[in-house]
Structure 1
């Protein structure tokens, strides 16, 4: 036995003596050649008594590891099948973040105390060409384990099509069966996207719902976690991994109602009830155990627009203090059980909750902005300045009201979609603003525009190697919207003419002068120009000027 394990409470005794009723019989490593940032899976056979194998206060299995550098990791494992008191199958899914030799053992706990422990074993993780997991770097970008910089470009793909949609004008469009992950995610990747946001809720990935899904994709079940939702989530992450996509998974509150096995009759009670909080922690543990291995987990997001939950009853809003305290407790817990240290966040619609943006274990803050896309850059700058952490616009669009016919102002919808991406690219945010209404923009092929933004973003990251410096810029016409960023030896200038008149402008900024490349944002065409020589901007036209080496 490795001496590294002797410090575990009771481990030496339990390694040789184990209560037969609670014992680990065997374990098997399913892939024999582990590599960095890739799933290595283990089957564990054990016998234990339980009331519910998904509740850690009843029974829990952990994989305790020492990494090649000597760091101790504890990975939650998850129940797969079997009965209480008989041999059951559990699984561990782990993605190494260090090359070299790992030492590990499995520990079985009952009511929080270790009651059995497997023999010790080892495996060796080899290098791979993968980049790893996303982590904070600065307000402009995230970075992978290998140091490679990352900026997210994408959209909301909130859910797969529902059986019955509530859209007044686009019900037929939004109910189309083709709008599933197998269609939408490859399309996103093809269009240059690398990031999206999706929900866990009663009609999409309904982990803790049993019936009434408003979807034909899920099967009724009385199981604690719905097997058809588990299978669909497995497929989702396999698809993301194959496409190089990163997802902000909006976990939501889950199904906390007493009629469905929960403990809280109201949202207000959910945030303070100890039983509901314990139930939610077990839910978090399951997400980490089953899907935490995936580098495609771009972020765990607790709530979609938690301020709307707060004001669900406008006459009796939920205390902001209780919501903030809940997020503080859950983010600390999640960081404590996630060995990969995935990014953690939550979101608001438009009402700030005092203290939420300052929570230590939340990696970035987030809000949603509709009908005011021009305000996005200033909002991002203000929040990241005030709270010293990245800020993300998780949803935006020209219109939020689905009772309106978007076709009446389709050109404005398209233009707003495009502006939001460019404003984000030239603003200190690691994830560019993400549009809503994915089916609508797919039907109009508007989302193909992401390719052009991705081209410029890739240049910024490559030439600057992750460095961003905001610089002042002067346009000869103040009606033209301009932003400038220096990345390494190159300066990138965005100029947009929002008016209906043709503008002939000159641009002056630090280092301007000489030849530059002018990128037309709509056509994607480029040409050589001289700076600060006048540039002709047609009505509603935008360009990116790239100067330097």
Structure 2
């Protein structure tokens, strides 16, 4: 964990013994953490209406109050291929906070329970720029298309779903997946924090009761993401526990089900029952207390595919999301982004248009032509809802038919140059990407995106008026310009239509393309001025050629380099 500052206080019979500690310095956006040994017993130490730690923090700019959380430390080991956690010491009450402004911060720590508020101690720390990359948290970018850090740099998610790990390997499995992703330019993963009976990170294991072991694992995974400069989409719940029909349904064994000692008569009551809403709010509050400090938390996702819960009701979902977002904003002082997802690729118009959701996502499966489908949805939702959008899950009907990863390659490139806020994110991380060693496919797109630079600084539009001299070739392109400047940038991907995963699986191969002519109509293409076109190998992401064409009547004419399957380019328009 980045620059973890841990200050322990011994508490005996509620008499606080303070261990002397030197003044500490914490880099901006890094964590200052503090734990208290408060040995009073509670029926449910996770229930904030029963007990909680509060930290009142005075910075040079404002005062905030944040929650603490009940915590158990562990050591991990791998025994016969299975992760084993060994508890270290007794549970503690902790808080985590990342400063966002320089200067001295004063902290007052208290425990509050039904007997009152018990002040524990005061402390101070100094927040400094030294040791900080100053990126900060992820926000909606100023172009409302892409994401952007507090520091101004674009965050363009490149990665995959890593919703659970296989073979009982626990955090060791996340080590493998995350390191493989990061080595090839990946900077994003999606986690499931729900009890879906797979080897995941189940926060809540019965109504109101949390799994301290899995929470420690989640601590480890968040810290791993911080070290690798990755960002995490934290999906807090999935349809499975509220579904009794076809597909992967778990209502029969769900801890929400009254038949199993839960609190719900029917799955859809989750969104209307006051008890259920209180339970979910408490879980959100705990997750915020424990993880909202981290700049590696990209966003909160309320639900995975909420529309396939039993008897889905759009109006009830609108009310529920608005209520939950108000709750999150009340406690998450760092205002992480918020979204939710749907099984139906179109989604729910009433929900996706809500101001209480910061971006939209698409899930899409079973397409023979990944590029056309994923690019369509990413662009369509952006233009419909005027907020960032990307394909958060995709896959083909049988991944064994694409062991070379053409569907992944094509999805990454098509969405990137068609106004998506991030690449499309493959679902089959454990059964397809890792076993077939497909992580190298991320190399090309990550280097290309890096060469584009600050995507969020540009106002982008699709290039719609373009021609290609070879009818079997398809052009995916977008044009962007910066405010008050005539210069612009075109990001394009030229694909041979024979290079879909289904065509490759059928044994078809693409021929070498030579002397392909392209014409692009651009609104800010100054006549007679030299422009620069850099061509890229899509596998390696390396620049392979550079040209200087001219515009005539706002039309830029190009000749593509020789290629097989596909090629990409950046056009710097003067």
What TM-score does the superposition give when structure 2 sets the normalisation length? 0.77
Q: 1:24 to 1:325 in 2, by over 3 A?
A: farther
CA distance in 1, matches of 2:13, 2:391: 49
1:3 is matched with none
Cα drift, residue 243 of structure 1 = 0.7
CA distance in 2, matches of 1:46, 1:468: 53
Matches within 5 A, 1:287-326: 287-309=287-309, 312=310, 317-326=311-320
CA distance in 1, matches of 2:15, 2:262: 31
Unaligned segments of structure 1, at least 5 residues? 1-19, 164-175, 211-221
Q: Find the partner of 2:184 among 176, 191, 211.
A: 191
1:123 is matched with 125
1:182 is matched with 175
2:139 matches 1:135: yes
Q: 1:540 to 1:43 in 2, by over 3 A?
A: same
Partner secondary structure for residue 521 of structure 1: coil
Cα drift, residue 417 of structure 1 = 1.0
2:361 is matched with 366
1:484 is matched with 478
Cα drift, residue 27 of structure 1 = 6.6
Cα drift, residue 75 of structure 1 = 0.9
2:518 matches 1:506: yes
2:534 matches 1:517: yes
Q: Could you say what the CA RMSD is over the residues aligned between the two structures, in angstroms?
A: 3.2
2:46, 2:208 within 8 Å by CA — same for their partners in 1?
no
1:169 is matched with none
CA distance in 1, matches of 2:400, 2:548: 40
1:164-198 deviations in whole A, cap 9, x for unaligned?
Answer: xxxxxxxxxxxx99981011101100010111112
CA distance in 2, matches of 1:297, 1:274: 28
1:475, 1:482 within 8 Å by CA — same for their partners in 2?
no
2:475, 2:492 within 8 Å by CA — same for their partners in 1?
no
1:488-546 deviations in whole A, cap 9, x for unaligned?
Answer: 65433322221446462223343385552211213545112353343256553232244
Matches within 5 A, 1:443-462: 443-462=435-454
CA distance in 2, matches of 1:103, 1:233: 28
2:160 matches 1:155: yes
2:8 is matched with none
1:104 is matched with 107
Q: 1:31 to 1:366 in 2, by over 3 A?
A: farther
Shifted more, 55-64 versus 87-96: the winner is: 87-96
1:214 is matched with none
Q: Find the partner of 2:559 among 519, 534, 544.
A: 534
Shifted more, 254-263 versus 265-274: the winner is: 254-263
1:341 is matched with 335
CA distance in 2, matches of 1:22, 1:322: 48
Q: 1:81 to 1:305 in 2, by over 3 A?
A: closer
1:206, 1:226 within 8 Å by CA — same for their partners in 2?
yes
Q: 1:27 to 1:89 in 2, by over 3 A?
A: farther
1:451-479 deviations in whole A, cap 9, x for unaligned?
Answer: 111111111125x6732433635123354
Cα drift, residue 37 of structure 1 = 1.0
Aligned pair count reads: 487
2:397 matches 1:395: no
2:47 matches 1:55: yes
CA distance in 2, matches of 1:57, 1:545: 56
Shifted more, 143-152 versus 116-125: the winner is: 116-125
Greater strand fraction, Structure 1 or Structure 2:
2
Q: 1:547 to 1:458 in 2, by over 3 A?
A: same
2:376 is matched with 378
Q: 1:256 to 1:234 in 2, by over 3 A?
A: same
Unaligned segments of structure 2, at least 5 residues? 1-10, 74-89, 242-254, 499-509, 550-556
